[in-house]
């Protein structure tokens, strides 16, 4: 997976804890999103990312279950289309 189609992904947080998530694609607006019910909210809380804040993830490994590492919160506002 070159992160261009829906797939199971693994996020690694700042404490090296792995979180299983689902990468989704919204073809109507050409964007991607991460979901896992309350798992995404818990991941954000564990990494001190609040609602409306942006974050940076680094792709560590591609393939069937891509691995992405939490890098940092972004200081700038997210791009609005």
Q: What is the CATH number of the domain that holds 55?
A: 2.40.330.10
Q: What is the pLDDT of residue 75?
A: 63
Q: Distance (Å, rounded) from C-alpha 14 to C-alpha 7?
A: 22
Q: Which domain holds residue 69?
A: 7-73
In a domain, 59, yes or no: yes
Average pLDDT in the chain: 84
Residue 79, domain member (yes or no): no
Q: How far apart are CA 38 and CA 29, in angstroms?
A: 24
- Whole-angstrom Cα distance, residue 27 to residue 15? 33
Instruction: Count up the domains in the chain and report the number.
Output: 1
Whether the model pTM is above 0.85: no
Give the pLDDT score at 2: 57
Residue 40 lies in a domain: yes
Low-confidence residues in the chain, pLDDT < 70: 1-3, 74-81
Domain contains 1: no
């Amino acid at each position: 997976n070159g992160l261009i189609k829906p797939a199971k992904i693994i996020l690694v947080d700042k404490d090296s804890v792995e979180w299983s998530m689902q990468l989704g694609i919204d073809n109507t607006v050409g964007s991607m999103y991460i979901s896992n019910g309350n798992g995404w909210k818990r991941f954000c809380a564990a990494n001190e990312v609040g609602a409306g804040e942006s974050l940076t993830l680094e792709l560590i490994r591609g393939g069937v279950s891509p691995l992405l590492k939490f890098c940092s919160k972004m200081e700038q506002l997210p791009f609005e289309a």
